[in-house]
Amino acid sequence: MSRFISFAIPVTSAEEAKEYVALYTNEYHDARHVCWAYMIGSDRKEYLSSDNGEPSGTAGKPILGQINSFGLTNIVIIVVRYFGGIKLGTSGLIAAYREAARLAIEAAEIIEGKDMTTLGFTFPYLAMNDVMKLLKAQNSPGGREVVKIISQEFDNTCSIYISLPLDLLPELSSRISAISGTSLLTEG
């Protein structure tokens, strides 16, 4: 009976995914096949998969299919197969690799991420309370920081740079601009 061992690993680039593939291929050098697939980026347009010697489309595509089914990105899934002497056939291989990938995903912690951006603005010292109240209101009551202050300078004219989810930028920019005396800064 063949044995399948699967891993779901968070990555931030194709290079990092390929490094993990090389690492696991080396670690499981005695396995018959080390098949994998990765998906990178919030637009989910950078991906690649490998059947690593299995019949075409029977390993990498089912692994990638599970990444798509779960709507994941910035992940590499590696499935190691030790051949057990019984040929599974095309449909059997597809089912086995799909199931191994699914189990790896379900055993992993899925972390939801957001595209982030930076916003800088100046404001008069007298507007400090309004600005800080607005920034604090963006963070969840449980203490999860959504908007983070990257840098701040307080003088007669104060400046702050914040990191925030890209989808909050239009609304927060508008609310900051509505505070008397504030000016948004452009990076350049």
Sheet holding 33-40, edge to edge: 3-10, 75-82, 33-40, 46-50
How far, in Å, CA of 93 to CA of 68, rounded?
19
Highest mean pLDDT among 38-47, 110-119, 132-141: 38-47
Ordered structural domains, the chain, with CATH: 3-107 (3.30.230.30), 116-185 (3.30.70.240)
What mean pLDDT is reported for the chain? 91
How far, in Å, CA of 151 to CA of 161, rounded?
5
How far, in Å, CA of 100 to CA of 66, rounded?
10
Position 188 pLDDT exceeds 50: no
Residue 153 has phi, psi (to 5 degrees) of -140, 125
pLDDT at 187: 56
Q: Residues near 75 by Cβ (< 8 Å), separated by ≥ 6?
A: 8, 9, 10, 11, 38, 39, 67
Question: Where is pLDDT greater, at 117 or 76?
Answer: 76
Split at pLDDT 50, 70, 90, the class of 141 is low
Q: How far out from the chain centre does Cα 5 lie?
A: 23
Q: What is the dihedral of CA 142, 145, 146, 149, to 10 degrees?
A: 150
Q: Residues near 129 by Cβ (< 8 Å), separated by ≥ 6?
A: none
pLDDT at 2: 86
pLDDT at 27: 96
Q: Name the amino acid, one letter, at 34.
A: V
Taking alpha carbons only, the member of 181, 137, 174 closest to residue 159 is 181
What does the pLDDT average to over 130-147? 81
pLDDT at 142: 64
Q: What is the pTM of this model?
A: 0.69
Q: Residues near 1 by Cβ (< 8 Å), separated by ≥ 6?
A: 84, 85, 86
Per the listing, tokens 């930028």 go with 169
Percentage of the residues of the chain whose pLDDT score is greater than 90: 71
